[in-house]
Structure 1
Amino acid sequence: MAGPLTPHSTLAAAPVLTSGNRALIWIIAAVALAALAVAAVLVRQVLAADEGSDRMKKIAAAVQEGANAYLARQFRTLGIFAVVAFFLLMLLPSDNTSQRIGRSIFFLVGAIFSAVTGYTGMRLAVRSNVRVAAAARAATPEPGEPAKDLTLVSHRAMKIAFRTGGVVGMFTVGLGLLGASVVVLIYAANAPKVLEGFGFGAALLAMFMRVGGGIFTKAADVGADLVGKVEKGIPEDDPRNAATIADNVGDNVGDCAGMAADLFESYAVTLVAALILGKVAFGNAGLAFPLLIPAIGVLTAMVGIFAVAPRRSDRGGMSAINRGFFISAVISLAGVAIAVYSYLPSSYARLKGVGSDISSHPGDPRTLAIVAVAIGIVLAALIQQLTGYFTETARRPVRDVGKTSLTGPATVILSGVSLGLESAVYSAVLIGLSVYGAFLLGGTSIWLALFAVALAGTGLLTTVGVIVAMDTFGPVSDNAQGIAEMSGDVHGEGAQVLTDLDAVGNTTKAITKGIAIATAVLAATALFGSFKEAIDTAVAKAHPAASDARWLSFDISQPNNLVGLLLGASVVFLFSGLAISAVSRSAGSVVYEVRRQFRDHPGIMDGSETPEYGRVVDICTKDALRELATPGLLAVLAPVAVGFTFGIGSLASYLAGAIGAGTLMAVFLANSGGAWDNAKKLVEDGHHGGKGSDAHAATVIGDTVGDPFKDTAGPAINPLLKVMNLVALLIAPAIVKFSYGVDSNLAVRVTVAVLAIAVIIAAVFVSKRRGIAMGDQSGGDNGEGGSPAPSEKGHTVPA
């Protein structure tokens, strides 16, 4: 898209919501409600399972209490951001007052739906994990009982965990499709503009939940491992470790609530981009067709979730999960083919409400639609296999990382970094080829090409229900193992069942992150096209002077645009660094608190005293809520600063730089972390000396480094890309209005740019000034605004 912008040709007729389209959207809304009904059925199935012993129930209740308390405080904090954003959206230019009000209202709806999806995932996960542990407990026979069928026990535990994820998957697709359908039914041709608010609300809240939850979970996890495993030599989830409850709470608020909200916003934002471009490319049909594809995915997700039923012939848990995924993908493709040939005409000339350039375009719109959707579905399958290859314990890459543990932690770190860097290239190439393949479908029309990219994104969405189930399966299995170990009621074969499920869960989480970044890139690319459409419209209204042409150009050879490209890539690095640094600071506080408890209460080690679990939960909660503000402000204000300072062309380049760097960084962080985690599992299963060996200690260090990689910074890049693209899309008309043409106003432009830059600098400065705990004992930031914890000789130094 180099060169100056050219306004889109006039439409033959403004797209309208015909009676047939309206009826179709009502059906789609009914499908969305059906997904919520299926979720209710799955909830009853999960909760019908046995909860295990009294000790297991008590531990699960503590995890539930901590998770609920954290999310309640987080939602109160985020409510302030939501209210401020609501009123700021009211100030942005819009075609009419109805659009402006609808955009702000559905911003709140999107944020609420994202919050509900995340909360639902957490709420059921903390009730399901104890049931998974109880199911595995049945593997160990009571005295005098015959040996249990381990395969049957493992399958039962796995089914409970996966159907828990199925509930979250159904909420994700159900609420996402319902929200988009309601907007289209109410606003018809104006729906795309209102949906910008819906997508922004979902993305903004998801980013905060992903960052906050990620900081909480990895601060607790890293702190627990460093003191428990490395210093005290006790198991990962030993009840003597004061950080264990916080670690289990973190799995739910980070991996369940945070990732569920993240995938919901991916779903919502992809629909937003598809509908914006669909109105331009397919006219009247473009208001309904982009919703029809994910509606088919909702139905096939139901099949895929129930198809994950382990068999005796399966080589492992991933075999059953892969089967459910591929069954869902194949049925989706067949269903989309039927829908395409039933709904779309055989030529572009027969599309109602499109411009003359598209109506005269040769070819068959049905071919474009089905091939584009197929590209998205195939991309999901390829990413799933590629990520599995680099993170599964049975594959060579993880086994190679495990072998390097024999030579120490340094080689473990090096092998994991090299694995992540290499895998990022392959993933980026796959995603890039998919985008390019969809782009070629548009022929000479840039709008058809961009719409094809958006359709590829909706094709990938047809698998989201199963993908979300795969993601939630991971933390549920992890928590089940933690509850089992803390209670001491699951032994022998039952403990091994949970260890195996946890290893499968590590792989499913890595796969989910890989597919999530693919979705983010497709959505961001499509939103880039929506950004172009918004600029074309704004430029036509502004009537810029001829001298403004180069500032409106997307030509990357211009120095100002190259600066924007570099800044976009830089923000991804800064965002990742801030997130990892936040985990490091908070984990330091956890380490000192756990050390203090061991030192001040010697009876903890012999079991005569109980650790103060609540203190660590409180530290993680306060730190997470305090630390999430800086990355959030950076994501929202950086596009504002670039756009109002350097112009529209630089802002477009900024988005391109962020997409490129974000794709590589997210995959690198996720796969390195996943490989380190499973290499540790490999050693714990008895390879290279097993638990307690030097090799085990080396892989624990690798896993500790990988924790903030794969569960904080890496997955947070997904919503970051979409938040920045949506902010750019929302502010583009204002930048054009105040920078070029008849209404240009240098004072407004400078004021906005200076304020945005000042807030970013202040936020980063405050973040970097927070103390990093140093020394051998407690000291430094304990999560309570910087006041030091009790210390013998530790000290705090500025970052």
Structure 2
Amino acid sequence: MLRLSEPTLAAAPSLSGGNFTLVILVAIVALAALAVAGYLVREVNAASEGTEKMKEIAGAVQEGATAYLARQFRTLSIFAAVAFFLLLALPADNWNVRIGRSVFFLLGAGFSAVTGTVGMRLAVRANVRVAAAARESGANRATRIAFRTGGVVGMFTVGLGLFGAAIVVIAYQGEAPKVLEGFGFGAALLAMFMRVGGGIFTKAADVGADLVGKVEKGIPEDDPRNAATIADNVGDNVGDCAGMAADLFESYAVMLVAALILGTAAFGNQGLVFPLLVPMVGVLTAVIGIFAVNPRPGDRSGMQSINRGFFLSAAASVVLVAVVAFAYLPSSMSGLTNATARGTGDPQVIALVSVIIGIVVAVAIQQLTGYFTDTAFRPVKDVGKTSLTGAATVILSGISLGLESAVYSAMLIGAGVFGAYLLGGGSIMLSLFCVALAGTGLLTTVGVIVAMDTFGPVSDNAQGIAEMSGDVHGEAAQVLTSLDAVGNTTKAITKGIAIATAVLAATALFGSFQDAVTQAVAQKGYSPSSSVAGDLQYLGILNVADPRNLVGLLIGAAVVFLFSGLAINAVSRAAGAVVFEVRRQFAEIPGIMEGTARPEYGRVVDICTRDSLRELVTPGLLAVMAPIAVGFSLGVGALGSYLAGAIGTGTLMAVFLANSGGAWDNAKKLVEDGHHGGKGSDAHEATIIGDTVGDPFKDTAGPAINPLIKVMNLVSLLVAPAIVGLSLGTGSNPAVRGLIAAAAFLIIAGAVWNSKRKSIAVKPELPNQGTPSLDHDGATSAA
């Protein structure tokens, strides 16, 4: 951690003409990314939509996804309005910063929403085109359309993220780092809500559809006789497209926030500009990577083509960042303007190696995650083999795989952080900036990573539309099954890389958090070495021998567990409602199983929508209120320890949940491809059960931990000055601190209690009154 004796993050002066011009260039390149997205949209929309039946099914998915997102944004607008005024109330250097922080909070939230919406709207139109391409042209054309769809989302992510950061720097220059806190917080908060809400929706529908359709009725996954199939396909889009796109956008935005804050201190003006030049390079290399994914006849699978684009993009990033570093940065620390890093070393080499570390981490995680979740490698094959002995062994093997893979991923991320830290040569400020630069290096691959993620749900939906329509058979159907398996792997990879960005950003933000404390102490008129300042338990070192700090550490770790438990439990409750509704329709609507009657798809979509929007409130309040409760009750030292506990536990938990779920899903695909008895066998049923357990792991709780960590970091950064102000000197007011902490604790307790009381309770079936079904509040009624 940064010691209080080091210089604080002083505001940079106004940018000089050359630097200002470079920031303008960054903004122009960011807008050019949106133009590339427009070109890709036209290419995707020009593809064939297939048969009339396929168009009809795709239309139902589009309608459900659009309706859900509209209702979600209405709900989230309330949170955004409250957060806007709370940010205005928090201390800042001046009212210009306060207003800018609040306004750009809304802009960050808005850009996150736009990224998610664009991703979903194109995905629900591309899925039918991918199915049609598999039917009419084969695997290569289908792969290309699916990945180009993801490319649109990737271009919006890097374009809007970079444009937002550049606009803040242009408008606020030296005060930009403080205003960027609001921009990053808006992106992170909205992404977390979208991730949780979309994840609950998609997995409630998926689990409910599987448990009744596959397990009880023995019908295929996307059989049109299952009332939950449309909701399942809608969920893929609102969870994996809209939710993950917003998630990766906020990763991009928050990483830039950390890099620009620390860059200003370490490198002065150059540190404010260089972190923008690196992701600008990423925009250019993302275009290269996306267009490089053009399947060839000799490719073994779609994954080979995708890997080719990813590695080409990563290699191009290294070359172009080297050009930028040596052309822009001076060759010695003495050449930096207004910098605190005055040690020995070559800034060009330090910056370049830092960025390379981030790119290497991205590539290594891509390979490691692929190994543990791809059907081509031993881990998933071993999980598939355990299906021969039943569902219990499938679940045990998947859990053990996830636990083991989490260790390797954490060590890999830790090695990246420590490697960047060593580049600082003894200056903690410079070391933290190197960590932030490693994060921006990882961001150079984000455009391709987002494309890989969107590829997954588009392929999944394409297979669902093909199966429901009955118009895709033989080799074309097998093409879509293979693409779906590849999509499971790409989704797991993106989740691994997303959590890596969370750790790098959180580590870098520790420097910003400490500086906020240091500046607040100085403003109260105390020196860092005074005994009064020491009462803060935060002398730049998190001393866990202090019981308050140790308690903070434990609470931070515990919050990750509670957050994950709430998310998984929410899926369980919502899935229970879906199960009873699908059972009711099979029992009460004559002709569904015979295919002569149409299920009431809309009722299941409505259940998933209402339950997911209701359930996302509790995890969201936990993420925002827990840091406030800990900080105002136990102090800033305990709050710093809280963040350390949350980061460490969150990293392991997120990778464990994502990789276990991905392995279970692909083990099921392995059996469906004909291994161990194939579809309909006991082994198949065992893997279906494993997959239903893994669904909320990999698509709800696991990926939501990524924005959770960053929301908690940014909330802590924003409230730290207020905690110090109420802890020292004439402004010290333990009573007010206690009231704030008590209010936060009560809000958390009330939200958790309200969530837990919504249990599933099924009344006994009453004579002549049909089958019991659940209403949206968790109660039951006779259908």
- After TM superposition, the score normalised by the length of structure 1 is 0.95
Residues 165-184 of structure 1: pairs in structure 2 closer than 5 A: 165-184=150-169
Q: Which runs of 5+ in 1 are unaligned?
A: 140-152, 792-799
Question: Which among 716, 722, 726 is matched to residue 738 of structure 1?
Answer: 726
Q: Distance in 1 between matches of 2:738 and 2:262?
A: 32
Q: Which deviations, in whole Å up to 9, do the C-alpha atoms of 1:110-134 show, x marking residues without a partner?
A: 0000000000000000000000001
Q: Distance in 2 between matches of 1:656 and 1:378?
A: 24
* Cα pair 1:7 1:537 within 8 Å, conserved: no
Aligned to 1:389: 371
Residues 674-713 of structure 1: pairs in structure 2 closer than 5 A: 674-713=662-701
Amino acid at match of 1:6: S
Q: Distance in 2 between matches of 1:655 and 1:771?
A: 31
Deviation of 1:780 after TM superposition, in Å, equals 6.4
Deviation of 1:315 after TM superposition, in Å, equals 1.6
Q: Which runs of 5+ in 2 are unaligned?
A: 766-770
Question: Which among 541, 544, 547 is matched to residue 559 of structure 1?
Answer: 547
Deviation of 1:335 after TM superposition, in Å, equals 0.3
Aligned to 1:578: 566
Q: Distance in 2 between matches of 1:66 and 1:721?
A: 31
Query: Partner of 2:91: helix, strand, or coil?
Result: coil
* Cα pair 2:668 2:684 within 8 Å, conserved: yes
Q: Distance in 2 between matches of 1:526 and 1:15?
A: 22
Deviation of 1:557 after TM superposition, in Å, equals 2.0
Deviation of 1:779 after TM superposition, in Å, equals 4.3
Deviation of 1:67 after TM superposition, in Å, equals 0.2
Aligned to 1:456: 438
Q: Which deviations, in whole Å up to 9, do the C-alpha atoms of 1:734-788 show, x marking residues without a partner?
A: 11111123321222211110100000000000000002244787546432x3342
Deviation of 1:547 after TM superposition, in Å, equals 3.6
Deviation of 1:368 after TM superposition, in Å, equals 1.1
Q: Which deviations, in whole Å up to 9, do the C-alpha atoms of 1:568-593 show, x marking residues without a partner?
A: 00000000000000000000000000
Q: Which deviations, in whole Å up to 9, do the C-alpha atoms of 1:480-526 show, x marking residues without a partner?
A: 00000000000111100000000000000000000000011101111
Aligned to 1:135: 133
Question: Which among 765, 775, 782 is matched to residue 782 of structure 1?
Answer: 775
Q: Is 1:97 matched with 2:95?
A: yes
Change (3 A) 1:674 1:563: same
Deviation of 1:610 after TM superposition, in Å, equals 0.5
Deviation of 1:16 after TM superposition, in Å, equals 3.0
* Cα pair 1:780 1:786 within 8 Å, conserved: no
* Cα pair 1:93 1:734 within 8 Å, conserved: yes
Q: Distance in 1 between matches of 2:629 and 2:424?
A: 33
Aligned to 1:6: 5
Aligned to 1:362: 344
Q: Which deviations, in whole Å up to 9, do the C-alpha atoms of 1:209-263 show, x marking residues without a partner?
A: 0000000000000000000000000000000000000000000000000000000
* Cα pair 1:207 1:719 within 8 Å, conserved: yes
Aligned to 1:108: 106
| Greater Cα offset, 73-82 or 518-527 | 518-527
* Cα pair 2:9 2:515 within 8 Å, conserved: no
Q: Is 1:596 matched with 2:612?
A: no
Q: Distance in 2 between matches of 1:245 and 1:362?
A: 61
Q: Is 1:647 matched with 2:635?
A: yes
Deviation of 1:316 after TM superposition, in Å, equals 1.2
Q: Which deviations, in whole Å up to 9, do the C-alpha atoms of 1:553-579 show, x marking residues without a partner?
A: 222221111111110000000000000
Query: Partner of 2:338: helix, strand, or coil?
Result: coil
Q: Distance in 1 between matches of 2:609 and 2:366?
A: 33
Q: Distance in 2 between matches of 1:566 and 1:379?
A: 28
* Cα pair 2:580 2:774 within 8 Å, conserved: no
| Greater Cα offset, 207-216 or 364-373 | 364-373
* Cα pair 2:188 2:247 within 8 Å, conserved: yes
* Cα pair 2:761 2:778 within 8 Å, conserved: no
Q: Distance in 1 between matches of 2:9 and 2:469?
A: 69
Q: Is 1:322 matched with 2:321?
A: no
Aligned to 2:480: 498
Aligned to 2:279: 294
Q: Distance in 1 between matches of 2:466 and 2:773?
A: 34
Deviation of 1:622 after TM superposition, in Å, equals 0.2
Change (3 A) 1:780 1:17: farther
Aligned to 2:768: none
Deviation of 1:790 after TM superposition, in Å, equals 2.4
Q: Distance in 1 between matches of 2:120 and 2:782?
A: 34
- After TM superposition, the score normalised by the length of structure 2 is 0.97
Q: Is 1:407 matched with 2:389?
A: yes
Aligned to 2:741: 753
Q: Which deviations, in whole Å up to 9, do the C-alpha atoms of 1:658-692 show, x marking residues without a partner?
A: 00000000000000000000000000000000000
Question: Which among 524, 545, 549 is matched to residue 534 of structure 2?
Answer: 549
Q: Distance in 2 between matches of 1:486 and 1:525?
A: 47
* Cα pair 1:391 1:678 within 8 Å, conserved: yes
Aligned to 2:144: 159
Q: Is 1:245 matched with 2:258?
A: no
Amino acid at match of 2:308: R
Aligned to 1:531: 513
Q: Which deviations, in whole Å up to 9, do the C-alpha atoms of 1:88-114 show, x marking residues without a partner?
A: 000000000000000000000000000
* Cα pair 2:9 2:264 within 8 Å, conserved: no
* Cα pair 2:386 2:394 within 8 Å, conserved: yes
Amino acid at match of 1:45: E
* Cα pair 1:15 1:354 within 8 Å, conserved: no
Deviation of 1:718 after TM superposition, in Å, equals 0.3
Deviation of 1:310 after TM superposition, in Å, equals 0.9
Residues 440-451 of structure 1: pairs in structure 2 closer than 5 A: 440-451=422-433
Q: Is 1:196 matched with 2:194?
A: no
* Cα pair 1:543 1:742 within 8 Å, conserved: no
Q: Distance in 1 between matches of 2:396 and 2:339?
A: 54
* Cα pair 2:115 2:246 within 8 Å, conserved: yes
Q: Is 1:656 matched with 2:640?
A: no
CA RMSD of aligned residues (A): 1.3
Q: Distance in 2 between matches of 1:649 and 1:419?
A: 36
Amino acid at match of 2:280: A
Q: Which deviations, in whole Å up to 9, do the C-alpha atoms of 1:418-461 show, x marking residues without a partner?
A: 00000000000000000000011111111000000000000000
Q: Distance in 1 between matches of 2:7 and 2:615?
A: 43
* Cα pair 1:454 1:526 within 8 Å, conserved: yes
Query: Partner of 1:551: helix, strand, or coil?
Result: coil
Q: Distance in 1 between matches of 2:401 and 2:772?
A: 36
| Greater Cα offset, 271-280 or 738-747 | 738-747
Amino acid at match of 1:81: F
Amino acid at match of 1:571: V
Deviation of 1:602 after TM superposition, in Å, equals 2.9
Q: Which deviations, in whole Å up to 9, do the C-alpha atoms of 1:278-316 show, x marking residues without a partner?
A: 111011111111000000000000000000011122221
Query: Partner of 1:634: helix, strand, or coil?
Result: helix
Amino acid at match of 1:61: G
Amino acid at match of 1:295: M
* Cα pair 1:589 1:773 within 8 Å, conserved: no
Q: Distance in 2 between matches of 1:532 and 1:367?
A: 27
Query: Partner of 1:772: helix, strand, or coil?
Result: coil
Deviation of 1:548 after TM superposition, in Å, equals 4.1
Q: Distance in 2 between matches of 1:482 and 1:304?
A: 28
Aligned length in residues: 772
Q: Distance in 2 between matches of 1:688 and 1:9?
A: 62
Aligned to 1:794: none
Amino acid at match of 1:718: N
Change (3 A) 1:168 1:765: same
Q: Distance in 2 between matches of 1:55 and 1:25?
A: 50
Identity of aligned residues (%): 73
Amino acid at match of 2:49: E
* Cα pair 1:64 1:127 within 8 Å, conserved: yes
Question: Which among 598, 603, 610 is matched to residue 610 of structure 1?
Answer: 598
Q: Is 1:224 matched with 2:209?
A: yes
Query: Partner of 1:604: helix, strand, or coil?
Result: coil
Aligned to 2:621: 633
